[in-house]
Each structure stands twice: as structure tokens, then as C-alpha cells.
Chains A and B, each alone.
Chain A
């Protein structure tokens, strides 16, 4: 916990007596705390609920779980404990990617698979903005699958080509949508090595978000190289550090038909590793998609 001087706590209490509770999760930044309070007030209205929310924030409960929603691109998604809260970094690359995806695919001609879907943010943002695409998703966690299904309804995609199944991709990759080949596979896999977990994650993440969604090292990138590369024409995987990017790029370096690259986020951290076939079977121009995606 950051130390915040009693004088500051007292002065913000004069503005609103609930602000001091919010100050801790906002690292002492008063304007951030005010902004949080206004979000809380906007969405909860009832005074008791607002007070309770501030108390929960003091206890490091993520704001997104308290408000039960999180915007993601054009969507307002449900979020709940047991399933990872979508991050801004994911939203950023995902919306960048969508902007580059061909708009006029013929019905059912563009197939996307989103692995480790969690709340479904990536899959649903794509399905929402590219309605002719076929979008499939997988997650191991029953809580995630239940939430994903609720979100499909929440954003009004229940009668469309969006599918999801519960499965362990580290064990049963070959059996997942086994007849399908994909144009694009997206994945935000768990990527925090277990020995870094305690040291590198914030308290709120450690206390309230599911370990299953967070902890892994190279397993999912190896799984990509081994099982998914033969079944797709392109992929975008989120990463936690450069080492994971390099692992994937090295794994494909002997294979000259694959082009690979790294995308950085607005905070200048390597955030995605991507790859595509320069001469795919389909007529899709991946060079065009990924040329501008990396910048």
C-alpha cells in the first residue's frame, strides 16, 4: 500500500468523505480517485451501494468487478470474479487488428478462432464488427464459458456464427473444431511465469483475479507452434515479454513461408507476436493486414 499522508486524506475527505477509500488503489492520485468516484456514482446511484463500492475498493477489489461491466472497443461487456478483466493493451491491439481486417469477406469465408477467450472480449469484438465472419472460441474455465455465453447475449450476437466450447487446449488441441482450418487465430494466453507472479503482479490482481488466467510461461506458445500453425493462415498472440515473442519467432524461422513480427503497445512494451503466410491458399492479402498492424 502506498503511504498517503493523513493531511491529504483529510483534505480529500472534505471534498467527499468516500474519496479517501479510493485513494489507495489510485496510488494517491486525487484526480484519478475523483474520476473513479464519478464512475461509481454514475453506475450505482443508490447511496448504500456507492458506499459499499468504495469500501470494496479500499480492499483492493477491482473496480470492474464492482461495477460488473467493462467497455471493450464498441462493446459493453459483463465481467465477474473468476474471469480475467479485459486489459487496455488487449483492447488496443484487438481494435487495431479489426481495423485492418478485410471488410467485405463473403459470408462465412473468413474464419477466426479465439483461444483462451475468457470474457470473450476479442472474439466478440471481431464478431460484432465483422458480422460475415465465422468466429469460434475456446476456454478451459467453466466460469469463463458461462460469462462468455452471457456476453454473447449481452451484445446481441446469439443468432450469429459465434461458437464457444470448453476445452483444455494444452491437451486436446487436435480435437478442438478438428475439421476446421482458420484464417486467423487470436489468443491472449496466460503468460506470467509462476516465479514472477508474486513479484510482478499488483495486489489486486493477485488477490482477486484467477491464477488459471494468468500463470504460464512458454506452454501456450509451444502449443501454437506445434498444433495451430498447421491449421491457420495467420495468428496474433499477446505476450508478457520479449522472450516469449522470440520463442515464437525462432520456432518459425526455419519455415520460410511464415512471416512474423512484433507489435508494441502505447506504453512501448512488446505486446503481440504475430505471423502470417505470404502465399496462403485463400485469396486473403495478409501482407496488407499485417504491414500496417505492426506500426
Chain B
């Protein structure tokens, strides 16, 4: 350790200076709470038991295999964390015991800390209970808010952003439906299906009201307008099988399916192309209209897929709400805040209001290439919040 310290001492001198100079902003070690550490220790023991079983020639069923994989990643992350914490402690000791090595030790600490905190965050993430829909594909619904046709144009821009984002990650996507405004320049409503399992986990942070500030193309006087668009993110629940299985999951009296109510005899008498379907779910009051497909059967299947996604999301929100109410002190939450993000074109700035993250690259984000910067910031923010909550719950 010491030799490593000497070896790197010179190299990091500049860094150390810089750090001291900015000491008010300098990174600090954020140790994980002891209760989280004891949780990690439990996993270490559990993994050891499984490994013993394996070494005695025991066979693993699928459930055990999954558990084994999960435990291994947690334990790996925990070992790395422990190792780095030990390094950190050694350096602290040196700092106190040997003034002659002070500068070198400080330099090494400065170099170590960002890594250590990152390792801590990633361990924390693994220890937190996963989101119930973390592995699901996703469905995004976009609608214009205030701002008239500029809001519709912005809705189209957001839709493009998510399509670009999916392309960027090589995720399969398709438009479930899209209704354009009369002039075709903007969108009144769009539903985007992203087939990638786990895409919900990333995109869930996109839910909420997005605000744009810019000079609309239609504005002759060059004034900046503010408009909004709303995004809803739903988890896509299990694939519908081909044979109408989706209908069987609902009781007949909960559901009403309306089709074109044509007069006349129907059947062979007409060859209509109108395949629109309206699906009503009485218990929740959800109504879904679908006309994008050329077959009524397929419109029905899509409508049911959306209904199931909406119900799942609704249920999750209700459950969260209940849990929140059960707690004494409310924590600021990431899911509910209405205006979540601002896209300021004149300043080339994107600010996420929930986590306070700002990025100066609107084009990069709209092209889908840097949306991850924003999402990652939200992800970090949200696990921090969750960790806080977890600690509170544990000490309560």
C-alpha cells in the first residue's frame, strides 16, 4: 500500500492541490449505513451456504441458480466496497501518523474517493428492493399540455427523442398509435411501445410534465414561448398470447367492447375498413380507443395490452401512496412532481427539476444519445432517496 502510495505521489500532486483549493466542494466519503452493511453480511452468509451446497455436489434448480447469480453480484460489489473502504482507512491513518506523507496520502484519497462513492452507490442500488416492474418492457403515452400547436410540435419532438433513444440502444420499438393535428405538424396523442425488457426501469423517470422554452417556428416576433407535454410511462405486462387469452384475465362484466355500430346487416353485406375498437373497463373507468390496425382483432389486442399496462401502473401508484401515507414524515418523491424537466432552447439547456441536474446539450439529448446522462442522474437521485427511506424505515 505504502509503496503504491509513493509511486503515485508525484503524479497526483496537482490533483491534490486542486482538491485543497476547492476544499469546500471536495468530495467526501459517504459511508453506507451500518444496517445496510449488516444486510450485505447476511447475503455473504447466504452465498457461502449455497456454495457449500454446490461443493457437496448438490444440484441447483432454476430458482437457486437465479438466487446464486443475484447473491454473487451483491457480494462482489460488497467485497469491492470493503476493499476500497480499507484502503481509505489506511490512508486516513497515514495522514494522522506520518505528517511527512501527508501530501501523498491526500492525493491518493482524492483519487480514491470518487471511485469509492461510486462503488458505494452501486452496492446501495443492489441492496435496495428492486422496482416491481424493473424487468418489464415499456409503453409511453405522450400528449400536449398548455401551449396550443407549439405544445403539439413539442410532443412530436419528445416522441422523436424517445424513438431516437430506442434506436440508439438498438431496442425494438413500434408506434401503437399516433394522432396528428390537422396541419400534420404536431401530435395530439401518441403511444409508443418499446419492446426491450428493462426499458421501463430506465424510462420510468420520464413520466411527468416536460416543459419547453423556445421561439416557435410560427412566431413572427421572435418571442420565447413556454409550452408543455405530458408523458406517461407504463410497464408492459406479459405478452398476450395469440388466442384471445388476454380477454380471459378479465371478468366479462368488467369489460365492454364497442365496435363500429353500423346499421344494416353487417357480415357479407359490407366490406368495411373501419376496424376501430373502444374498450371500457368499468372498475377503473379506463376507456381506450384504438383504430390504428386494419383488423378489429388486433386493435382489441392492443387496447387490452394498454389497459393491462395502465392498471398495473395504477395499482403500483396506489400502493406507493398507501405506503407513503403510512409513514410519518413524507420524503420528497420522484414519481409525482408535476413539472419534471425544462428544455430551454435559447440557452441550449436541459434541467431536471427533481434532481437539479443540468446539461447543456439539447441536440444530444433530443437525438437520444445523451438522454442517458439525465436518466442516470435521476437514477442516482432516486436511489439516494430510496436509501434514505430505507434507513428511516429500518430505524423506525
**What residue in chain A is nearest B179 (Cβ atoms)?**
A31
How many residues of chain A have a CB within 8 Å of chain B? 51
Give the distance in Å from the alpha carbon of A71 to the alpha carbon of B297 in the complex.
9
CA A26 to CA B260, docked complex, whole Å: 12
- Which residues does A use to contact B, with CB under 8 Å? 15-16, 25-26, 31-32, 35-36, 39, 62-64, 70-74, 84-85, 87-92, 95-96, 98-99, 129, 188, 190-192, 200-202, 204-205, 209, 213-214, 238, 240-241, 265-267, 269, 271, 295
A-B contact pairs, 6 of them (CB 8 A): A39-B273, A87-B270, A99-B244, A188-B268, A205-B271, A240-B267
- How far, in whole Å, are A64 and B247 apart by their CA atoms in the complex? 27
With contacts A15-B184, A129-B243, A267-B262 taken as known, whether A95 is within 8 angstroms of B297 at the C-beta atoms is yes
A15 closest partner in B (C-beta): B182
9 closest pairs, A vs B, by CB?
A: A71-B295, A99-B244, A88-B296, A74-B242, A266-B259, A99-B243, A63-B273, A202-B270, A62-B271
Kindly state the separation between the CA atoms of A64 and B298 in the bound complex, as whole angstroms.
16
CA distance A73 to B248 in the complex (A): 16
CB within 8 A of A89: which of B267, B293, B295? B267
Docked complex: B187-210 residues within 8 A CB-CB of A: none
Whether B297 contacts A191 by the Cβ 8 Å rule is no
Q: Is A267's CB under 8 angstroms from B297's CB? A: no
Q: In chain B, what residue has the closest Cβ to A34?
A: B180
B252 in complex: contacting residue of A72, A129, A191, A295, CB < 8 Å: A295
Known: A96-B244, A129-B242, A295-B252. A266 touches B271 (CB 8 A): no
Interface centre among A35, A88, A204, A271 (most CB of B within 10 A): A88
Closest B residue by C-beta to A79: B271
A-B contact count (CB 8 A): 114
Most A Cβ at <10 Å: residue of B243, B267, B269, B275 = B267
Would A267 and B270 be within 8 Å (CB), given that A39-B294, A88-B295 are in contact? no
Give the docked Cα–Cα distance between A64 and B296 (Å). Answer: 14
B247–chain A nearest beta-carbon distance, Å: 8
Q: Which residue of B lies closest to A188 (CB)?
A: B268
Q: What residues on A are CB-neighbors of B183 within 8 Å?
A: 15
B295 near A267 with CB under 8 A, answer no
Min CB–CB distance A119 → chain B (angstroms): 13
Contact B273 A205 (CB under 8 A): no
B residues near A200, Cβ cutoff 8 Å = 264-265, 269
Partner of A241, one of B265, B291, B292: B265
Within 8 A of A (CB), among B231-290: 242-245, 247-248, 252, 257-262, 264-275
Say whether A209 contacts B248, CB under 8 Å. no
- Size of B's binding interface in residues, CB under 8 A: 36
> Nearest-CB distance from B302 to chain A (Å)?
12
A99 touches B248 (CB 8 A): yes
Q: How far, in whole Å, are A63 and B294 apart by their CA atoms in the complex?
A: 10
On whether the beta carbons of A267 and B271 are closer than 8 Å, the reply is no
The answer to whether A32 and B269 have CB atoms under 8 Å apart is: no
- Across the interface, do A266 and B297 meet the contact criterion of CB distance under 8 Å? no
Complex alpha-carbon distance, A202 and B265, angstroms: 11
Bound-state Cα–Cα, A30 to B248, Å: 35
Partner of A64, one of B257, B268, B273: B273
Report how far A31 CA is from B274 CA in the complex, Å: 10
* Contact among B259, B273, B293 with A36 in the assembled complex (CB-CB below 8 Å): B273
A84, A92, A129, A213: the one contacting B296 at CB < 8 Å is A92
Docked complex Cα distance between A89 and B297 (Å): 10
B244 and A267: CB pair below 8 A?
no
**Are A201 and B297 interface neighbours, CB within 8 A?**
no
Chain A minimum-CB-distance residue to B291: A35
Q: In the complex, what residue of chain B is closest to A29 when comparing beta carbons?
A: B274
B291 contacts across to A, CB distance below 8 A: 31, 35
A213→B244 contact, CB < 8 A: no
Indicate if the CB atoms of A240 and B265 lie closer than 8 Å: yes
B268 touches A213 (CB 8 A): yes
CB distance from A88 to the nearest CB of B (A): 4
Residues of B contacting A265 in the complex (Cβ-Cβ under 8 angstroms): 266-267
Alpha-carbon gap, A149 to B291, bound state (A):
30
Pair A71/B268 contact, Cβ less than 8 Å: no
Partner of B258, one of A95, A191, A266: A266
Question: In this complex, which of B184, B243, B244 has the most chain A Cβ atoms within 10 angstroms of its Cβ?
Answer: B243
Give A120 Cβ to nearest chain B Cβ, in Å: 16
> Which residues of chain B are near A190, meaning CB under 8 Å?
268
Cα A190 to Cα B268 with chains together (Å) = 8
Task: Compute how far the CA of A99 lies from the CA of B243 in the bound complex, rounded to whole angstroms.
Answer: 5
Q: Which residues, 150 to 191 on B, are CB-close (under 8 Å) to A?
A: 182-184
Kindly provide the distance from the CB of A8 to the nearest chain B CB, expressed in whole angstroms.
Answer: 13
Q: Is the CB of B265 within 8 A of A92?
A: no
Instruction: Determine whether the beta carbon of B243 is less than 8 Å from that of A91.
Output: no
Q: How far is the CA of A84 from the CA of B268 in the complex (A)?
A: 9
Using Cβ atoms and an 8 Å threshold, which residues of chain A touch B269?
A: 192, 200-202, 205, 240
Contact B274 A32 (CB under 8 A): yes
Binary flags per residue of B98-118, CB closer than 8 Å to A gives 1, else 0: 000000000000000000000
- Do residues B261 and A267 form an inter-chain contact, with CB atoms below 8 A? yes
Give, as a whole number of angstroms, the nearest-CB distance from A241 to chain B: 7
Complex contact A192–B268 (CB within 8 A): yes
A176 to chain B, nearest CB (A): 23
Across the interface, which residues of A come within 8 angstroms of B260, CB to CB?
267
A205 touches B267 (CB 8 A): no
